[in-house]
Chain A
Amino acid sequence: MKLTHLLTSAALALGLATTAVAQDKTKVGFIYVGPIGDGGWTYEHDKGRLAIEEHFGDQVETVYQESVPEGADAERAITQMALQGADLIFTTSFGFMEPTVAVAEKFPNVKFEHATGYKTLPNLSTYSARFYEGRAVQGHIAGKMTKSNIVGYIASFPIPEVIRGINAAYLHAKKVNPEIEFKIIWAYTWFDPAKEADAATALIEQGADVILQHTDSTAPQAAAEKAGNVITFGQASDMAEYKPLPRVSSIIDNWSPYYIARTQAVIDGTWESQQVWQGIDKGMVEIGEITDAVPADVKDEALALKQAMAEGEYHPFTGPINRQDGSAWLAEGEVADDGTLLGMDFYVEGISGQIPN
């Protein structure tokens, strides 16, 4: 029968694909949600891929597929990489979680790494960055430097990561400037340069002289530059072309050390499933150069804050912290647990407005 023949050959080839691990050259695959030319999220992941190539040379081969839609298409793209003999596959967007799990179950000998998710398997790890540590540094600089005491925040979608960033920035701005007020715009997009520009303009027109963004384009930077006397921070990548003003610093996602380490683990045969959430300490989150537009003392404080987090002496969510409604969340000296942080769906006390929904 043709069909049974098909199925046996399928089983055979699946077996073949999974034994490909034994080959000498290690193959590492990347699934990207956007184009590598987006200048932000995907761009930084691709820099990590190039870092692997540079570090391992001929020992490793990398492949990638960009602009992969979430859902069924992602599952096919991942499967295809596994079939083609990839030993390690990074899927670099939250939306790839279910497809990655589905494929990982079918290819037990291929290692998978899913960014920003929470589901693991013996051959599926998750990794994410503690961007909120960077947000704390931003909040500090913002609180010190604002003259209008109004900070504008361009948020993307109301998900825990974004809410966490808002809270971390607010807490640290408030700490140095009790008068601080956050104006938050939910853009409902990760990437729509024109809308981001409009959002930044709206915030500036309403008095904000610091713009923080959790969307990926440089449009808000340009809007701030046009307006003058407004400072901004680079997001996802350094956005160095807007130095020294309006961009006074940035949060950079640096995936290279992690990608190199995990590739090495596969080569050495020491790869194990794990759930990591790395921050400034491991270099996954970097603070981009703080420019001279920031007064020297503020810069020193910001760097000290960064240092404290890098050494594990300070956690940005350390009590006492109340929720927005005034109820207690963290007691004096208590540090937030990762579980609550990962699923954060509330503002801290002092932020006005509501999270949509």
Chain B
Amino acid sequence: MDMGSISPELLLASLMVAATPILLAALGELVVERAGVLNLGVEGMMITGAICGFAVAVNSGSPAIGFVAAAGGGAVLALLFALLTQVALANQVASGLALTLFGLGLSSLLGQGYVGIKPPPVAKLDIPLLGDIPFLGRVLFSHDLMVYLGLALVGLIWWVLKYSRAGLILRAVGENHDAAHALGYKVVRIRVMAILFGGACAGLGGAYISLIRVPQWTEGMTAGAGWIALALVVFASWKAGRVLLGAWLFGGVTVLQLNLQAAGFAIPVEYLSMSPYLITILVLVIMAGDKSRAPASLGRIFHASQ
């Protein structure tokens, strides 16, 4: 047992990487839910993004094009959800679960020729000067571009939701779609766009796993990350900054757990594996008194003639 063998800076650096896929997916879902739509199909969209990104990156030789394709693949799958829930007015919970089933099947079929292939490597950004800062340099400035994209997205979504007109409209649609409709906003159009954005983000998160974090393609490789992303959104009480915090916490508990084991601590692994979920419940309880609640129209079907 040797705590000293765990290096805090390396631990924090791995945490940044481990948090990125769930961060990306959760940010997308945050926007969707803020628009009043509950899409439980995150896992399906992530895995579809994972294979689309992987296949395109392998064939084109460019991870960048792969990520674009992943966002596209996620968005296309999300479009199905949008058609179901916004046009055909189907129940969102059931549609989201069906989307996950569909996405898992689709991805396995698409991925049949891609098992055992190595994708083109993604270069780490070498940031001069900043990367040489002791401690912080290793923790913050030694990653690939997608990590920074995730962080930038946190800032962007926070700003858009809080200060921009588009964000105001989005929130209005999520809080009270009838009132938003009465004010002349295109509720369905706004929601469809939010759903597509959510799908694209989930796709990026999936591709981060298949192209950078693992990197390989195997069926079912997201292994439940989409569900964790869903949990993150609620954990964060629908706030972008807290999503980041939550993603680090979730990523952190896993990474820390593995590090403690490697350092020889006899920890009850199966009980520790429960901890992120128990912590989420605890946070939900603590934050329940907070003003920030779920968007009022979340999960409700909107029909204009009502």
Q: Do chains A and B touch in the complex (CB under 8 A)?
A: yes
The chain A residues found within 8 Å of chain B, CB to CB, are 34-35, 37-39, 43, 152, 183-189, 191-195, 197-199, 201-203, 205-208, 217-219, 222, 237, 241-242, 352-354, 356
B116, A353: Cβ atoms under 8 Å? Answer: no
Shortest beta-carbon distance from B169 to chain A in Å: 36
| Residues of chain B contacted by A352 (CB below 8 angstroms) | 264
Q: Is B241 engaged at the interface, CB distance under 8 Å to the other chain? A: no
B258-288 to A contact mask, C-beta < 8 Å, 1/0: 1101111010111001000000000000000
B6: chain A residues at CB < 8 Å are 205-206
Who on chain B is nearest to A199 by CB? B258
| Of A43, A188, A222, the contact of B214 (CB 8 Å cutoff) | A222
Which residues of chain A come closer than 8 Å to B262, judged between CB atoms? 152, 183-185, 199, 202-203, 206, 208
Specify which chain A residues have a CB less than 8 angstroms from the CB of B215 in the assembled complex.
Answer: 222
Taking the closest CB of chain A, its distance from the CB of B243, in whole angstroms, is 19
A206 touches B5 (CB 8 A): yes
Interface size class, chain B: 35 or more
Decide yes or no whether B27 CB sits under 8 A from chain A.
Answer: no
A-B contact pairs, 8 of them (CB 8 A): A38-B218, A39-B218, A193-B214, A202-B262, A218-B216, A222-B216, A241-B117, A354-B266
Complex partner residue of A37 from B7, B115, B214, B261, CB under 8 angstroms:
B115
A43 touches B115 (CB 8 A): yes
Residues of B within 8 A of A152 (CB): 262
Q: What residues of chain B lie closer than 8 Å to A354, measured between beta carbons?
A: 266
Let me know if B14 is at the binding interface, CB within 8 A: yes
Residue of A nearest to B124 (CB): A226
If A184-B261, A203-B262, A222-B215 are given as contacts, then 19 extra A-B residue pairs at C-beta distance below 8 Å, sorted by A number, are A35-B108, A37-B115, A37-B218, A37-B219, A38-B219, A43-B115, A185-B258, A185-B262, A187-B258, A193-B218, A193-B221, A201-B14, A206-B6, A208-B262, A219-B216, A237-B116, A241-B117, A241-B118, A353-B264
Query: Is residue B202 within 8 Å, beta carbon to beta carbon, of the partner chain?
Result: no
State whether B221 touches A186 (Cβ < 8 A). no
Assembled-state Cα–Cα distance A211/B229 (Å):
30
Provide the residues of chain A in CB contact with B273, threshold 8 Å: 188
Cα–Cα distance between A354 and B266 once the two chains are bound (Å): 6
**In the assembly, what is the distance between CA of A260 and CA of B16, in Å?**
49
- Complex: how many Å from CA A187 to CA B6? 18
A-side contacts of B5, CB under 8 Å: 206-207
Interface hits, B91-139 → A, CB 8 Å: 108, 111-112, 115-118
Contacts known (A37-B111, A198-B18); A205 close to B7, Cβ less than 8 A: yes
Q: With contacts A205-B10, A241-B117 known, is A193 near B21, CB below 8 A?
A: no
B192 CB, nearest partner CB in chain A, Å: 31
Chain B residues with CB under 8 A of A43: 115
Name which residue of chain B comes closest to A207, CB basis: B5
**B219: which A residues are within 8 A, CB to CB?**
34-35, 37-38
| B residues whose Cβ falls under 8 Å from a Cβ of A | 5-7, 10-11, 14, 18, 21, 108, 111-112, 115-118, 209, 213-216, 218-223, 225, 254-255, 258-259, 261-264, 266, 268-270, 273
Cα(A256)–Cα(B217), bound, Å: 25
A206 touches B259 (CB 8 A): yes
Q: Are B259 and A241 interface neighbours, CB within 8 A?
A: no
Contact among A37, A187, A205, A353 with B259 in the assembled complex (CB-CB below 8 Å): A205
B54 → chain A closest CB, angstroms: 12
Residues in A with CB closer than 8 Å to B261 are 184-186, 202
* A202 and B216 within 8 A (CB): no
The docked-state distance in angstroms from the alpha carbon of A35 to that of B115 is 11
For the complex, what is the distance from the CA of A183 to the CA of B261, rounded to whole Å? 8
Q: B122 CB to closest chain A CB, in angstroms?
A: 10
Among B14, B258, B264, B269, point to the contact of A356 (Cβ < 8 A). B269
Contact A194 B209 (CB under 8 A): yes
